[in-house]
Amino acid sequence: MPDSMEVSMSDATRLFCLRIALVVFGLITVFAVYPLYVLWPSGWAWGHGHSHYIYMIIGIYATLGVFLLLAVKNPDAHRSLIWFTVWSSVVHGGIMAYQAFTDPMEHGHLFGDVPALFLIAIVLAALMRRPKPAL
């Protein structure tokens, strides 16, 4: 079998794990953001008192989650979406980490949504297949 047609067991395992991660993160972003906001506000709700932002965040993340679930069937065809998820999670998590460090009222986020975003970024980045170098 030619090299370009071979799929090693590690590639198959990586793809399987990537698909599981896409399902898990997709379902979490579709169904868990609002319950986490309600059940653990110190780790998931920014600001104090009533805010309209949570519905915008839920809308954005639920939409992203649906597209992550759609990417499960063929992750290679959705590489840009997956990399967008990685880098937007790093940027969003970084901004939130800075804000949580500098605002004592938001320290709880350092144990809630901030590490969650970094976890998503790390797992998806680690599981993405790198293009093979041209020989």
Residues 85 and 117 sit within 8 Å (Cβ to Cβ)? no
Nearest to 43 by CA among 88, 110, 104: 110
pLDDT at 1: 45
Tokens of 109: 């986020």
Chain centroid offset of residue 16 CA: 17
Backbone angles phi, psi at 8, to 5 degrees: -75, 160
* Domain-located, residue 135: no
pTM for the predicted model, two decimal places: 0.86
* Domain-located, residue 93: yes
| Number of domains within the chain | 1
Q: What is the pLDDT along the chain (135 residues), one digit of tens a residue?
A: 445 545 554 889 999 999 999 999 999 999 999 999 999 998 998 887 778 888 999 999 999 999 999 999 999 999 999 999 999 999 999 999 999 999 999 999 999 999 999 999 999 999 997 766 666
* Domain-located, residue 96: yes
Domain boundaries, position 20:
8-127
Q: What is the torsion angle, in degrees rounded to the nearest 10, for the CA atoms of residue 76, residue 78, residue 79 and residue 81?
A: -160
